[in-house]
Structure 1
């Protein structure tokens, strides 16, 4: 029987638009560049704390705060954000959460949605490494 062993890698190995590929876990890393005025109003989707398969706010923040799980060299800066989602074929099954690097640690949260200026650092697929369970 295979179970997740919590080995998760943030891979940049996807070519093309990651939003076009369905039924995968994706991530987008953003660098905060400042803020802007906005009179925009809107409703933000409710986050999901656990996307299953070991991809949860608790598990990912623990890993990010102790090791580099990206497939490239990366040093976080204050207010960097990491969007993590399950890009489902069916819009009703779409799930996501966002993490922010604040006070030298990764934690649940985000920069203000309508007033933040940011740029993409990298994006890709979350790879989950499975191993056989010893019984």
Structure 2
């Protein structure tokens, strides 16, 4: 079971149902004002499996430097490169990709909001023994999910 901390800790909870996420973030949800929304951040750890055109072309959405006020690119890089943020046994390999994105929105009453928001994400690739801010081209570079979960630390963005 995931316990919350102020450090960047990546929880690989197998139960990522809305009910479980509501329980995990219940304290933050209670602190929201009437019109505020809580952004809950999910992560995906992927491995690069090579290059392959997926048959589509288009415009890529570039990663964001600040997914929330608390979750900046600089903070993520610092934590990833200074400590083991994973709650499972994991040794990064060159080319591994860690993506953070807004997974759920909740209002003060703990209800999930299906509000349309612009897709935002942050992406990091393990290269030369450290994590760097970078992303793969989804049209030409193929990846597979190793693990996914939610962030345990405060990732609240009041909207």
Please give the range of the TM-score, normalised by the shorter of the 2 chains: 0.7 to 0.9
Q: How many residues align?
A: 124
Q: Secondary structure at the match of 1:8?
A: coil
Tell me, yes or no, if the aligned pair for 1:14 and 1:125 is still in contact at 8 Å.
no
Distance 1:63 1:35, change over 3 A: same
Question: TM-score scaled to structure 2, two decimals?
Answer: 0.67
Q: Secondary structure at the match of 2:153?
A: strand
Tell me, yes or no, if the aligned pair for 1:49 and 1:97 is still in contact at 8 Å.
yes
Question: TM-score scaled to structure 1, two decimals?
Answer: 0.78
Distance 1:83 1:10, change over 3 A: same
Q: Which moved more, 1:46-55 or 1:96-105?
A: 46-55
Q: Secondary structure at the match of 1:82?
A: strand
Distance 1:46 1:119, change over 3 A: closer
Residues 1-135 of structure 1: matches in 2 within 5 Å? 6-16=6-16, 23-87=39-103, 88=105, 89-128=114-153
CA distance in 2, matches of 1:129, 1:14: 20
Cα deviation digits, residues 42-71 of structure 1 (max 9, x gap) = 122242211225311111111111111011
Displaced runs of 4+ in structure 1, greater than 4 A?
A: none
Cα RMSD (Å) of the superposition? 2.6
Gap runs ≥5 in structure 1? 131-135
